[in-house]
Structure 1
Amino acid sequence: MRAVALGGGHGLHATLTALRRLTDELTAVVTVADDGGSSGRLRRELGLLPPGDLRQALAALAADGDDGSLWADVFQHRFGGSGALAGHAVGNLLLAGLFEVLGDPVRALDEACGLVGARGRVLPMSPEPLDIEAEVTGLENGELSRIRGQVAVASTPGQVLRITLRNPGHPGAGPRACEEAVQAVLDADVVVLGPGSWFTSVLPHLLVPELHDALIRTSATRVVILNLVPQPGETAGFSPERHLDVLFEHAPRLRVDAVIADRDSVPTPAGLRRAAAELGGRAYLADIADPDVAGRHDPDALAGCVREALGSESGEEGTWR
């Protein structure tokens, strides 16, 4: 089974950790609009892709065993202190170095995958860093405001209505897709969107024209995994079905086959089932929250629910679309 997961940050890490239980033919397509923390500093100083979300995906796919686990831990290690390196993750610096030396982010990420023994591949959504711009209400006397930047959008006290992507390197051009990511979506058996920061990690993939078209054209089973709780700022007050409404507003032609949600996170199951049906799919509710870690998906339970949604519990041939 060829699986592609699209997202960023901790949400994508959760998806990849679950999908590793189902297949080794796994590709992560990662958002490249981060402008905060270590990633933002490296992006501003060097003009490179923000490496943080790419690093998270690499760590999720790192091989089991001493070597892979060691490199995954090293990639995630952050320097302390108060000097120039404070707050930087080792993996961010290593990826930045690979980007500069090789001059090709896809080749650099393939080299990094080899280093950690990754079971799968990590690709950027775009070969160029992008900016997120959002239309927001509730900031100034109820009027519509525009804010730019991943951190600003993720932390706004207002209500985000919709987002667009900007290409700061080529202001007159739209966002350009990574060709390898487009091909991975077209070749996939299953494509997974979410969980994660809805407006800054999940929806941006739908706003890269070539990637958007690939998501519509692919014969893969399309699966959406919803968050366990609304996120302060981005989706405060959102119901599970509102997440799907926003997805449809940003990609009206997209159809999905399955929507997965935690049973305790859905106050009105009938409403979610109707919303999923309007997108062409079916809702699957299960106990997929980690009972020991608040706000985190249990990878084994999530993998089981994905397997059920794909109709492969019996392992029969012909269950993949």
Structure 2
Amino acid sequence: MKEFKWFYPGLKFKRWLFVIAIGIVLVGVGVAVVVSFQALSLVESLVIEFLGDLVGDLADLVHRTIGISLILGGVLVVLFGTRKMIDSILEAVVPESEDNLVELLYQKRYLKKGPKIVVVGGGTGLSTMLRGIKKFTNNITAIVTVADDGGSSGALREQLGILPPGDIRNCLVALADTEPLMEKLFQYRFNKGDELKGHSFGNLFIATMSEVLGDFEEGVKESSKVLAIKGQVLPSTLEDLRLSAKLKDGKIISGESQIPKVKGEIEKVFIEPADSEPLPEALTAIEDADLIVLGPGSLYTSILPNLLVKKLTTAIKKADASKLYVCNVMTQPGETDHYTASDHLQALYDHVGDQIVDYVLANSEEVDRKLIKKYAQEGAEPVKADLAKLKEQGVKVIHEPVINQSNLVRHNPDKLARVIMDLVIEEKNNYF
């Protein structure tokens, strides 16, 4: 029986249970003495006889003192035994340190009550943002593109017939509550071997889990448990999604990985099958959300593939939650050459209509000149925050410094998360 498992040898449980029992007995005896329980009168008489004339009229005081002392002693023994019992349990459950327990309680109590945030996109931009948001809430749903057909994800997609796991893997790792070694393991990319070279361990793990369970969605869910992620990561659809782009010169580019390689202005992107169905869990998360965030990430190959799943976009538009678009910091060669922030927003409008966004977050911090020169060699430049044009497009503009500048220009996860949480708080205050 389950209740007897606590008495298994080696648990260090029985000894402290015995100590607690002794304490309870002492408390009971003390109470009995105080209320003059007859069976204990012998103890009292012996003490009084020993003290002789010293007690005299103080018999009642001695009587009460003995009882109270026994009660206090019993309480102390119970507390000591309870403390030791808890320590022995924590030693087994959280062996590293008490700080880990505090962090665990914080996550379970505070983060569990955090706002419900849905993020939509893919690529490194989305995973960067998730690293910041998870410090404020556990109620995160990442809806991730499955249009990738290049690199390790593309190879697994073609060879195993599964959805590309790469963007999902990045989001899982970003939301993970695991040891740093586990993160390194999932992000490790093999650089040797004809079959393994170029593959990441995390991609192979998700692919293997999907094969074992016979279902990609279940494979992602079980991988989430292994990494103990905060929130959930969902593919935008379980369809074998293919992304293509039509350039302004009329040329059609097939394949997500091929679109940035072709030099030309994109007129629109489209998916096949066009009537791809979203996951019911994704629709539920959108309906219940406090805030829906689009991006950051590649506009045409990470964000729009999700929004082209029609029912997903319809759900976003109908949702009561405010919608925020996080604009990229730098333009992307082959996709958004010379785009301003309003150009990014207009591309969203052109594909899914003008009710998809309430707010646009644009970086206000100047990029270092050395980094501008470095990016210029690759054909990229800072995205200009043309605030007046953005306001003309019917959105509220959040203009804040939200970047890191080292060898690369990237969103700072903590700064970005703080802006997002401030927006959630502001929206709730306006509601009430």
Task: Please confirm whether the aligned pair reaches a TM-score higher than 0.5, indicating the same fold.
Answer: yes
Matched residue, 1:140: none
The equivalent position to 2:240 in structure 1, one of 126, 129, 132, is: 129
| Preserved contact between residue 37 and residue 87 of structure 1 (Cα < 8 Å) | yes
In structure 2, C-alpha distance between the alignment counterparts of 1:302 and 1:188, rounded to whole Å: 18
The reply to whether residue 186 of structure 1 matches residue 287 of structure 2 is: yes
Task: Please report how far the alpha carbon of residue 277 of structure 1 lies from its aligned counterpart in structure 2 after TM superposition.
Answer: 5.2
User: Which residue of the partner structure matches residue 402 of structure 2?
Assistant: 288
Residues 248-272 of structure 1: CA deviation (Å, up to 9, x unaligned): 11111524222111113564x5x33
Moved more, 45-54 or 251-260: 251-260
Match of residue 20, structure 1, among 119, 134, 154: 134
Q: State the percentage of identical aligned residues.
A: 36
Shift of 1:26: 0.6
> What secondary structure, in the 3-state scheme, does the structure 2 residue paired with 1:174 have?
coil
User: Could you say what secondary structure the match of 2:409 adopts?
Assistant: coil
CA separation in 2, counterparts of 1:205 and 1:8? 9
Equivalent residue runs for 1:235-274 within 5 Å: 235-263=336-364, 264=366, 265=382, 267=384, 269=385, 271-274=386-389
Task: Determine helix, strand or coil for the equivalent of 1:303.
Answer: helix
Q: 1:174 to 1:255 in 2, by over 3 A?
A: closer
Q: 1:16-55 deviations in whole A, cap 9, x for unaligned?
A: 1121132111111100010000000000011100000010
Pairing 1:206–2:307 present: yes
Separation in 2, partners of 1:103, 1:154: 33
The answer to whether the 8 Å contact 1:258/1:309 transfers is: no
Cα distance between partner residues in 1 of 2:356 and 2:279: 22
Change in CA separation of 1:255 and 1:51 when aligned onto 2, cut-off 3 Å:
closer
Larger radius of gyration: 2
Matches within 5 A, 1:95-134: 95-134=206-245
**2:331, 2:383 within 8 Å by CA — same for their partners in 1?**
no
Deviations 1:124-181 (A, max 9, x none): 01012311111113xxxxx3111110011122211111111013xxxxx622212211
Could you tell me how far 1:274 is from its partner in structure 2?
3.6
Higher percent of residues as helix? 2
* Residues 260 and 253 of structure 1, relative CA distance in 2, 3 Å threshold: closer
CA distance in 1, matches of 2:303, 2:310: 15
State whether structure 2 residue 328 is matched by structure 1 residue 227. Answer: yes
- Residue 301, structure 1, aligned to residue 301, structure 2: no
Alignment match, 2:277 = 176
Work out whether residues 24 and 120 of structure 1, in 8 Å CA contact, stay in contact via their aligned partners in 2.
yes
Identify the match of residue 150 of structure 1 among 256, 265, 277.
256
Instruction: Name the TM-score, length of structure 2 as normaliser.
Output: 0.67
Cα distance 1:82–1:103, how it changes in 2: closer, same or farther (>3 A)? closer
Q: Normalization by structure 1: what TM-score? A: 0.89
What are the Cα deviations for residues 41-81 of structure 1, in whole angstroms up to 9, with x where unaligned?
00001110000001000010010xxx442222111011111
Amino acid of the residue matched to residue 166 of structure 1? E
Please, what is the CA RMSD of the aligned residues? 1.9
Measure, in 2, the Cα distance between the counterparts of 1:253 and 1:225: 16
Residues 85-105 of structure 1, C-alpha deviation per residue, up to 9 Å, x if partnerless? 011101101111111222232
- Give the alignment of 1:7-46 within 5 angstroms: 7-46=121-160
Equivalent in 269, 275, 295 of residue 163 of structure 1: 269
Distance 1:97 1:198 in 2: 30
Q: Structure 2: which 5+ runs fail to align?
A: 1-114, 367-381
CA distance in 1, matches of 2:231, 2:216: 16
> Is residue 99–residue 108 contact of structure 1 (8 Å, CA) maintained in 2?
yes
**Equivalents in 2 of 1:266, 1:310: separation in Å?**
25
Determine which structure has greater relative contact order: mean sequence separation of CA pairs < 8 Å that are 6+ residues apart, divided by chain length.
1
> What corresponds to 1:275 in structure 2?
390
- In 2, the alpha carbon distance for the partners of 1:309 and 1:274 equals 22
Contact persistence 1:61–1:118 (CA under 8 A): yes
Q: Secondary structure at the match of 1:144?
A: coil
Change (3 A) 1:245 1:39: same
Judge conservation of contact 1:266–1:272 (CA < 8 Å) in 2: no
